Amino acid sequence: MQTATLAPEQNARHAIAMATIAFIGLGVMGWPMARHLRTAGHTLHLFNRSSAKAERFASAYGGTPFFTPAAACEAADALITCVGNDDDIRQVTASAFQSLPAGALFIDHSTASANLARQIAADNPHYHCVDAPVSGGQAGAEAGQLTIMCGGSAEAFAAASPILAAYARMTGHLGPAGCGQLAKMVNQIAIAGVVQGLAEALHFAQSAGLDAAAVIDVISKGAAQSWQMDNRAKSMIEGRFDFGFAVDLMRKDLALVLDEARRNGARLPVAALVDQFYADVQAMGGQRQDTSSLIRRLA
């Protein structure tokens, strides 16, 4: 995992080995990430929109549930959020920043707009803000093997790194505020094209009367190999789509991508086309199926 040096005196509150962390958002990704923080010895103040989930986590792993983000952030060294979208982040921070101490660290693992990350950092210079979307899915979160793309100041990234180490395989500092979110958009663009290519390849193999599984076993040892092929080809052939990242979430991410591309002038014809293909899958009832369900529309 990429490492970094702790920041100087102004970040002394983060130089301690163990931190008190307000963790907000105990969903599919947030729950295992919070569990890794507890295993590492950090003290957790927990908030979740469904308070019962925070109480279940505390009963299983420790930590203290709170009924508002503001209450969870009192006396915290750091705030970590893992929520759904820009509106969720705005809602959470409007409460949390009422009580989060000056000099605290704010790490946002949500996938959201780069503009919001820039705005939060600019409006709150008394916090060390890191936009830190992740890649690796639920399996990566469970295993503590996430890839984390970080935007923010060098000092903020240095302060965040020891905490991120609890569940990261790789962390990268990619530039100032917003750059983590931009990097996640790059990630999603690449995935969209690869999944569509894999779906078409399997569809072609089946249409040609080939044993698709046997073909994949051969070509996965060559230049066509990818994470998607290694982890999703078999289930795609079998018509199973209940693994990991949902179509609804991918469409949310691609909307962020295409909006940013309109601003920066990038041309993304494949990403735009695959986004419409995912809309077809939604219309077929596949909103909560994983992204490999693209193959369904070729059947």
Q: Domain containing 198 — which CATH number?
A: 1.10.1040.10
Does residue 33 surpass a pLDDT of 90?
Answer: yes
Q: Are residues 62 and 168 in the same domain?
A: yes
| pLDDT at residue number 11 | 45
Q: Are residues 206 and 121 in the same domain?
A: no
Catalytic (active site) residue 53: no
**Which whole number is the average pLDDT over 227-255?**
95
Q: Do you know the residue count of the chain?
A: 299
44 phi, psi to nearest 5 deg: -115, 135
Its domain, for residue 170, covers: 9-177
Relative orientation angle of helices 30-39 and 51-61, to the nearest 10 degrees = 30
Q: Are residues 135 and 213 in the same domain?
A: no
Site of tokens 């230049």: 223
pLDDT tens for residues 149-183?
Answer: 999 999 999 999 999 999 999 999 999 999 999 99
Q: Are residues 273 and 201 in the same domain?
A: yes
Q: Are residues 18 and 131 in the same domain?
A: yes
- Domain termination residue (choose one: 137, 162, 177): 177
Q: Are residues 158 and 226 in the same domain?
A: no
| pLDDT at residue number 4 | 35
**Residue 71's pLDDT band (boundaries 50, 70, 90)?**
very high
Q: Domain containing 69 — which CATH number?
A: 3.40.50.720
Q: Per the domain annotation, does 1 fall within a domain?
A: no
Q: Are residues 92 and 205 in the same domain?
A: no
Domain count, the chain: 2
How does DSSP classify residue 290?
B
Does residue 12 surpass a pLDDT of 90?
Answer: no
Q: Are residues 199 and 256 in the same domain?
A: yes
Q: Chain-wide mean pLDDT for the chain?
A: 94
SS3 per residue for 3-22: CCCCCCHHHHHHCCCCCEEE
| pLDDT at residue number 17 | 66
Q: Are residues 191 and 251 in the same domain?
A: yes
Q: Are residues 115 and 96 in the same domain?
A: yes
pLDDT tens for residues 132-148?
Answer: 999 999 999 999 999 99
Q: Are residues 143 and 242 in the same domain?
A: no
**For residues 280 and 296, what is the distance between their CA atoms, to the nearest angstrom?**
9
**Which whole number is the average pLDDT over 53-79?**
98
Q: Are residues 142 and 238 in the same domain?
A: no
| pLDDT at residue number 244 | 79
